[in-house]
Amino acid sequence: MRHRRTLCPQREGGSVLVIALLLMILLSLLGVTLLTVAATEHTMAFNGLWSEGALSAAEGGVNRGLNQLSANAQNSLRRIPDCDDCATTLVTGFTYRSGHKTDPGPQPLQFVGSRVEEGYSVAVGTGYNPSGYAFHTYQINATGTGPRNARREVEIRADYGPVAQ
């Protein structure tokens, strides 16, 4: 009589369980990795949005500085806004003020210099002015801030003129 060899199912009963557990651990790690990547992308998108909003706020501060330029240097050199501990709010969470990012508060605009040029007036009927017209140059720095300490700074030099001599 021949003996047949049969495999003992008792020895292999736990292998399916071990393979299933390893597969579940692998899939769980993949899921956690994908969630982390998605959360990082979400944070990066919001940081970009807040940074662009802060840049727009700084540009708003520059435009306000340009609007206050005049032939009167005292009015032109005021701070934006004209107080020590305030900032101008555009929309919720976004503000601007004059000065660099590192300045503790709003700073006055800076007068850089003047140049005189001969020429015709831009006013109708005034004609040629041999003594010339002055053009005043100002430097405007504006800092925009947004949520989560998003800060952007814009710096420009602007000429105001012609101003009759």
Q: What is the mean pLDDT of the chain?
A: 83
Burial class (CB in 10 A: 0-12, 13-18, 19+), 10: exposed
pLDDT score recorded for residue 25:
97
For 130-158, how does the pLDDT look when each residue is reduced to its tens digit (9 = 90+)?
A: 777 888 899 999 999 988 888 999 999 99
Burial class (CB in 10 A: 0-12, 13-18, 19+), 122: exposed
Q: Are 69 and 162 in contact (CB under 8 A)?
A: no
pLDDT score recorded for residue 138:
93
For 11-25, how does the pLDDT look when each residue is reduced to its tens digit (9 = 90+)?
A: 666 788 889 999 999
Question: CA angle, corner 154, sides to 115 and 148, nearest 5?
Answer: 160
Q: Is the pTM here over 0.75, yes or no?
A: no
Return d(Cα 158, Cα 65) in angstroms, integer. 10
Return d(Cα 42, Cα 47) in angstroms, integer. 9
- Checking if the pLDDT of 56 tops 70, the result is yes
Domain range list for the chain: 16-164
